[in-house]
Structure 1
Amino acid sequence: MVTIIWLLDLDLSLSHVNITSIHMMLMMIVICYISSHVQGSPPYPFSRSLAYPAPAETYDLSSPNSQLR
């Protein structure tokens, strides 16, 4: 948590244009990190765990909707 607060303080000193993108990236990383620990799933499918908060057993990997490219 100290590292996250330090990163939030760090990006406030950057330009105003980059703050939104850096905050979005940091929040995605934090949300995926927390959700991966809560679900007990590996943290590599970042966008899949955000878009589909269901357990990994319910994924239909043959469906094109599960391939978030």
Structure 2
Amino acid sequence: MAGATYDYGPAPQQVLDRVAALQDQAAAQGMPLATAALHFARDHPAAAAVLLGTANSGDLAPQPGGPALAQVVMAQG
């Protein structure tokens, strides 16, 4: 996570450690942290919608397993 930022500055070690722990938990479930974050937001009772954005259009490139995951998510409603 070299160069990671938090609150407009370099990420403190405490934040980096928490991110690493969350990445490990997501990997144990067979998914990247970004996918786990979307699931969390989607399933939170206070969320009426989840809006996504990106600063880099290259982030929108198709990902392996993306269509299959989208089908699973759509089937779940």
Pick the structure with more helix per residue.
Answer: 1
TM-score, normalisation: structure 2: 0.31
Pick the structure with more strand per residue.
Answer: 2
TM-score, normalisation: structure 1: 0.34
Which structure is higher in RCO with an 8 Å CA cutoff and minimum separation 6?
Answer: 1
